[in-house]
Amino acid sequence: MSVIDLGFIIQRPPYKSETATLGFTHAISYQVVDILLDDGQGVNPKVCIVGEGVLCCLSGQKAMENYGVTSLESHIKNALLVDLDLYVCKEDLERFGITEDKLIDAEDMGADKKLQIVPLGEIQKILNNTKHILAF
C-alpha cells in the first residue's frame, strides 16, 4: 500500500467554533505526513464540505480584521494551493442560496485546483472509496 485516501467531512460553520478550521488544517498537513512515514507512503485527503460547512466557502471573509485570526478563506485557498480535492455539496449551496460566483477561488495565488461543486450522491461515493473518514 502506498497512498491511502482519507475522507474529511467539514460540516460546521465558520467563526462559531474553530472545528472547520481544524478540519482544513489537518487536511493540509497531508503535505508533511511523509516525514513520519516510509518512502512512497502518504495520505490523500478528500475533503467534503456539507451542511453549514458550505458557509466556510464564501469569499470576502474579514476574520483577520475582525477577530485577529487567519480566515477560513485563507485556509481554503492554501488547501487549493497544495492541490487538495475540496468537494462542496451542491444541494447545500442551493439551500443557503449561495451561487458559484460567491465562492472562494485561489487562482490569483497560482492554485491549479478549484472548489468542486458536486451533488451529495457524488460525495457519498467519494467517501465510500476512502479508507477512513474524519468528521469534523
Partner 1 sequence: MGTLTIGCFASLVGSKSLDFTLKLAKAAVDKGHHVNLWLSSNATIIGKAHQKHLKDYSHAEKYVRELLEKGVEICECEACALARGIQKTEAIEGVQWSAMHWYLAKIYNSDRVVHIGGE
Partner 2 sequence: MADLRSQTPAETLDVLGRVCPYPLVMTKKALEKLSSGDILKVMTDAPASAEDSLPRFAEKQGFPIEIVKLEDKGYWELYIQKS
| Residues whose CB is less than 8 angstroms from the CB of residue 42 and which lie 6 or more positions away in sequence, other chains included | 2, 3, 4, 30, 33, 34
Number of residues that bind partner 1 (CB under 8 A): 24
Rounded Cα–Cα distance for residues 124 and 79 (Å): 21
- 18 contacts which partner out of partner 1, partner 2, none, CB within 5 to 8 A by kind? partner 1
Applying CB under 8 A, which residues contact partner 2?
Answer: 25, 28-29, 31-32, 34-36, 78, 82
The reply to whether 25 sits near partner 1 by the rule CB under 8 A is yes
HSE-up (13 A, CA, CB side) for residue 10? 31
Partner that binds at residue 114, options partner 1, partner 2, none, CB closer than 5 to 8 Å by kind? none
Q: For Cα atoms 24, 45, 11, give the angle at the middle one, nearest 5 degrees.
A: 45
Nearer to partner 1, 27 or 57 (CB): 27
By CB under 8 A, residue 24 contacts partner 1: no
